[in-house]
Structure 1
């Protein structure tokens, strides 16, 4: 490839991220977003890619854009509007999501500035396929080779090989996207490009086995539908180019891999999910039922950015107590497992209008293609789109967001039109091109440091708070750090009967529960009230807590023990 220095830098950065960076492992306390170290590493690479793309625009003294990128800018602007009228108490909980949206927009724009040839665009897709190959390899090692007590903390009892992602469905949608991509890439190879075809076969074979082992309903469904969307066009393309044999080899790889995965499940002493479980909708039915009711209750402006968790908990517990909703929704639900519902509940039709702009912009490109080709292009992004409607993969894994945007950019660049406009005012762009990677890297490195200290503390007996005092950057972990610090202070206050410190905990619990309610906070709040002699207030709070957390064993046991004491 004939590449400029900047383009070489972009390809090298993208390659290092896909083949090394995204697979970074560091012990952590779980969660999503920046609570997962591989996401923290991801933003370092993404910021570098954004910086390179913006600098490229200054070198060529022009901006490259398309109708889709203009709609992306418009959509992002619309989706930021609800911040202006959000409740300041909870609005901060939405900032990371909105920054991720803006970061995605900048990454998309950066990709466009490179003006890559079709061969160069395909190289990025092969790098994504390389990432899928590595994740499939890691998953196979987890399932077949890791011992019970391993240094990675992988649970051999459940034994659902999730790779780096720590969540089976997230791993499944990543693998499925890779399988669909491998099938598409077969149509882009020439007769003499045997190595590329073999790479597609091997990656498909290796990815299908852990996909079967994951027992992910989302993974199974997306594999089936994505394949059905792609196969007719792939058949036509390969037949025309005289490479139809490669399709049969791909299908054979899938069939053999499915057989191996199914046999492994059959031979296993225990499996994570029974056949009956796979057909059970589980907690999603009560979640969707109540989430839809919330959306319809405030359809125009929504409940406010950052308010979902606390509003869902309060309204669901009230409706459940009145017998108006199905039981079974998990506590501490911070996302309704459907991206459209999430934005709709918090931002109303305003946010949904922004998403609609993106959908319309993408579909305008798709509908201009012949039917089978249009369906194939939809098949490329289908696994990630489906997963976004059943969970929240773009929060669990930033690489999902990057891959999704890269695929959309590829489709828009390959099958759409781009335009350029002269842009000679380069100072701002060059400043951003330097500042974005520098600031992001400094923030993310210190976030990794915080993760290490917090994990060290939470895995100890928590008697020594020294690790928490060494935190440099608390931003990403502010809630967890507060929870741990206040719990430590409460224990000392309870022991010393420190009235001022007990009141301090009560005030803090009252404030934090307005945005991040937790069962253990309410229990400790009740304990503090009882310690201060306010037994009636403690009992009332405990009764409310039992209603909010009807399935929490700790709450119910504590409520029962207190009832025995006060009787």
Structure 2
């Protein structure tokens, strides 16, 4: 049987392997958010496995007093779960997936607190994240240089690089986290080899951030640097050296961005359009909150409602679907009402309490999480990248002291531990089979949805349930063109009518309008045209 020490080593090894190897493996996909991305399925499989392995130790270790941060996280999770009880059945699956991600993160934080990490293990975990960031730096450089469309990442040459994350700002906040960790090592290690390695990283990472032109990356780096300057003000020589190295990286980035080598590949990005859109999104979210501050609009309804609030009150139509408020607090309040807003505040309070931990490194380690935490206030990285969620939880855990107060195990503790271990084991199986689901659906979509037999034989369609249903019903339309079976249209119409109550999909709207016209349903056709005109003026 594994000893507790070996379980801890296993957890450290697994997390490190993920950051240094597994997270950089590309799998063909069709884009999207959450579990639509295979990288997120893989990451959640790793998180589930870590919870399972760490959870085994719960039965033999004494219970540890819950830190104030975890108590607040649990309170926040409970408050954020309340709106699910009055969320409509149509979007309940969306709400449950989001809440499962939240509680999965809380469970990971809890089981990691039960393990005792040595100083070397803590540093190795941080180093693995830094190495992961440098590997992404290398992948990004390769994307800048590649000219062939036939490449292992299906990257389109000439477009802005995004690493493995498939979104530029998500890449930038991860690189900024790596930069923060490199700064921390330079200020906290006496190992000359490691110090020199991290000094090189302090130059390299800002260089790439300048080339990427990501403001959220700049913000994360600046916030961490300023805070670490305050914390380590008694080391002015080191601070000045790191400032010089950082500025050197920025200068190199500017030179490369304007060089003959990169200038044709890296156009200066116009931020005015994105600024304007983000302002309209946030104004619309605030208006949604003003209209329903107590109950909210319900989980899963933001995309639908914001596309109607903005044209009516702000006289602005979004050119594409908006699934998120680009601010986690506004998003939670708009959908979940006052309960969700209180839950977000509780989680924010728990995050801030990490600063005053008994661990003398609590504040500087907390600073390392700022790039991702700040990113959640301007976009939605935790939905786009489960790796960011894992990184954030890991950094929060490292702020906690390794000598917590011990308590005698109670029956309730053992019941919760058994539930966590059992659920995490089921989750490992769920995500392992879910990866196969993703592969089958991707192949199905890329081959024109002609052969639906593999889709019908999937053993776990729930991991991508919405995508599975979308593909299945679009295939019905294609099949109708061959068989003219009216039942296929009826099935699509029932599904599509519910789908457009949550999503602003122009193709589904147009298909519903065509079916209503084909069935001489003039009233429904007119209603659908009116709805389509709201989200896409002139589309009729």
- TM-score (ref. length: structure 1): 0.87
Give the aligned partner of residue 99 of structure 1: 100
Return closer, same or farther for 1:77/1:541 CA change in 2, 3 Å cut-off. Answer: closer
Task: State the partner residue of 2:376.
Answer: 388
> Partner of 1:262 in structure 2?
254
- Write out per-residue CA displacement over residues 372-398 of structure 1, whole angstroms, 9 at most, x where no aligned residue: 999756642221122101111111111
2:392 to 380, 404, 410: 404
Match of 2:47 in 1: 46
Query: Does 263-272 or 177-186 show the bigger shift?
Result: 263-272
Q: State yes or no: 1:335 paired with 2:336.
A: no
**1:433-444 matched pairs, under 5 angstroms:** 434-444=421-431
Kindly indicate whether the alpha-carbon contact (under 8 Å) linking 2:162 and 2:168 is maintained by their aligned counterparts in 1. Answer: yes
Q: Per-residue displacement from partner, 1:161-207 (whole Å, max 9, x unpaired)?
A: 221101000000011011112112222212xx112212212333332
Q: Residues 63 and 306 of structure 1: is their aligned pair in 2 closer, same or farther, counting only changes over 3 Å?
A: same
Counterpart of 2:222?
224
Asked if the contact 1:286/1:328 (under 8 Å) is kept, the reply is: no
Q: Alpha carbons of 1:298 and 1:147: their partners in 2 closer, same or farther (altered >3 Å)?
A: same
Report the CA distance shift for 1:121/1:207 in structure 2 as closer, same or farther (over 3 A): same
Partner of 1:422: 408
C-alpha contact 1:58 1:430 (8 A) present in aligned 2: yes
> 1:85 deviation in Å?
2.1
Q: Secondary structure at the match of 1:4?
A: helix
Instruction: Write the distance in 2 (CA, Å) between the matches of 1:131 and 1:9.
Output: 19
Residue of structure 2 in register with 1:545 after alignment: 532
Q: Choose which of 458, 463, 471 in structure 1 pairs with 2:445.
A: 458
Contact 2:29 2:38 in 1 (8 A): yes
Contact kept in structure 1, 2:144 and 2:158, CA below 8 Å: no
Q: Structure 1: how far apart are the matches of 2:469 and 2:354?
A: 48
Q: Is residue 213 of structure 1 aligned with residue 201 of structure 2? A: no
Q: Does 1:301 align with 2:295?
A: yes
Offset from partner CA, 1:226-265 (integer Å, 9 cap, x none): 22222233342x35xxxx3x54553344233323322232
Give the match's secondary structure for 2:406.
Answer: strand
Aligned-partner Cα distance in 1 for 2:526–2:111 = 57
Root-mean-square deviation (CA, aligned residues, Å) is: 2.8
Q: 1:312 aligns with which of 276, 287, 306?
A: 306
SS at match of 2:64: strand
In the other structure, the counterpart of 1:155 is: 156
Give me the whole-angstrom Cα distance separating, in 1, the residues matched to 2:61 and 2:86. Answer: 40
Partners in 2 of 1:349 and 1:271 — Cα distance? 46
2-structure distance, mates of 1:454, 1:176: 34
Q: 1:521 to 1:421 in 2, by over 3 A?
A: same
Kindly tell me: are residues 305 and 277 of structure 1, through their superposed partners in 2, closer, same or farther at Cα, counting changes over 3 Å? closer
8 A contact 1:282–1:328 mirrored in 2: no
For residues 455 and 52 of structure 2, the distance between their equivalents in structure 1, rounded to whole angstroms, comes to 33
Q: Structure 1: any 5+ residue segments left out of the alignment?
A: 560-567
8 A Cα contact 2:356 2:362, kept in partner: yes
Maintained 8 Å contact 1:313/1:331: no
Partner of 1:565: none
Structure-2 residue corresponding to 1:292? 286
TM-score, normalising length from structure 2? 0.91
> Distance between the aligned counterparts of 1:26 and 1:141, measured in 2?
17
